């Protein structure tokens, strides 16, 4: 299991843009992929009966209708119109669409940084068969790299999208504070200004990300487009003033490390010197 990183991402947004901003960051929990793109260990295959598979092996108008209905259903889960489904997608959709695994979350990196187009898809899945209505994967050894993980690495850094996402919204007169908390594996996301910069410019917003990895590594990212200053990103590593050794009162030789979250956050607020983020 990975070491998890706890992330607290605060947006300050004009209150009259709040609802539009919340809609802009809500979306699918992950990028859309044909089911046959996953390794077995990444996503177990969904079994359907041979009888159902025979019934679904239709061609022509019935097949085209099923594909169109699938794309319409999956559009809310980030499925681009240009992306072909695999045969397995259609089989699962017709038999039990709940097994497709679509999930909407209040903070969606896949919505904020969507697929750029078929060229980007082809860069992760080269030499695919372009003929026919279905996406057909090329054989890959079980131990080969995962294009799905590679895409996430490119988009956000970590190999998995954020998990355990929670959001709170607090109106503060002309401004609204939106706080998103989530976990990422091993490290925070890369290049937060690259991920959120255009979003903040579009909605006259700014953000502060404070992150702490479970072993005590820590840092923050801050960006206010209206200030005209460059984004600030700090990684304090493990050897920092907030990772403190604690002794057992009854046994002084029994020691462990504890992270002082409150003091760390207070120091970050002082470093960015932006009163809008003070609690």
How far, in Å, CA of 113 to CA of 98, rounded? 25
DSSP 153-212: HHHTSSSS--EEEEEEEEEETTEEEEEEEEEEESS--S-HHHHHHHHHHHHT-EEEEEEE
Locate 149 and state its tokens: 């993980």
Task: Report, at the CATH architecture level, how domain 4-26+161-277 is classified.
Answer: 2-Layer Sandwich (3.30)
Q: Are 113 and 156 in contact (CB under 8 A)?
A: yes
| Distance from C-alpha of 80 to C-alpha of 261, rounded to nearest angstrom | 41
Q: Where are the domains of the chain?
A: 4-26+161-277, 30-155
pLDDT in tens, the chain (279 residues): 568 999 999 999 999 999 999 999 999 999 999 988 876 655 656 666 676 666 666 656 667 888 999 999 999 999 999 999 988 888 888 888 888 878 999 999 999 999 999 999 999 987 676 678 888 887 766 556 788 999 999 999 999 999 999 999 999 899 999 999 999 999 999 999 999 999 999 999 999 999 999 888 999 999 999 999 999 999 998 878 898 777 767 666 666 678 889 999 999 999 999 999 986
Rounded to two decimals, what is the model's pTM?
0.89
| C-beta pairs of 93-97 under 8 Å, 24+ apart in sequence | 93/66, 93/69, 94/52, 94/56, 94/66, 95/48, 95/52, 95/56, 96/46, 97/73
DSSP H or E stretch at residue 123: helix 118-124
- The interaxial angle of helices 18-25 and 192-203, nearest 10 deg, is 150
Q: How far is CA 133 from CA 37, 128, 129, 182, in A?
A: 16, 13, 10, 38
* pLDDT at site 100: 86
pLDDT value of residue 250:
66
Structure tokens at 44: 């177990």
Q: Rounded to an integer, what distance in angstroms lies between the CA atom of residue 61 and that of residue 95?
A: 19
To 5 degrees, how large is the angle CA 43–CA 125–CA 135?
Answer: 75
């Amino acid at each position: 299991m990975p070491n998890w990183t706890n992330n607290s991402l605060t947006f300050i947004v004009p209150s009259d843009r709040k609802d539009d901003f919340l809609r802009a960051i809500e979306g699918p929990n992950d990028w859309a992929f044909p089911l046959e793109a996953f390794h077995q260990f990444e996503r177990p295959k969904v079994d359907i009966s041979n009888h159902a598979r025979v019934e679904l092996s239709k061609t022509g108008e019935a097949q085209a209708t099923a594909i169109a209905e699938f794309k319409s259903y999956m559009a809310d889960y980030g499925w681009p119109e240009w992306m072909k489904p695999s045969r397995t997608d259609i089989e699962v959709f017709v038999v039990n669409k709940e097994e497709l695994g679509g999930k909407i979350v209040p903070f969606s990196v896949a919505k904020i940084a969507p697929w750029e187009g078929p060229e980007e898809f082809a860069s992760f899945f080269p030499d695919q068969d372009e003929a026919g209505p279905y996406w057909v994967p090329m054989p890959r050894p079980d131990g080969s790299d995962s294009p799905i993980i590679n895409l996430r690495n490119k988009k956000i850094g970590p190999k998995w999208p954020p998990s355990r996402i929670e959001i709170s919204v607090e109106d503060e007169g002309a401004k609204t504070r939106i706080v998103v908390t989530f976990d990422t594996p091993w490290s925070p996301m890369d290049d937060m200004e690259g991920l959120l910069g255009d979003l903040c410019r579009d909605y006259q917003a700014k953000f502060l990300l404070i992150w702490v990895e479970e072993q005590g590594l820590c840092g923050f990212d801050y960006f206010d487009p209206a200030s005209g200053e460059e984004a600030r990103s700090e990684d304090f590593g493990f050897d920092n003033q907030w990772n403190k050794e604690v002794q057992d009162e009854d046994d002084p030789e029994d020691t462990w490390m504890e992270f002082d979250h409150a003091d760390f956050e207070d120091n970050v607020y002082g470093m960015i010197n932006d009163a809008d983020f003070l609690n």
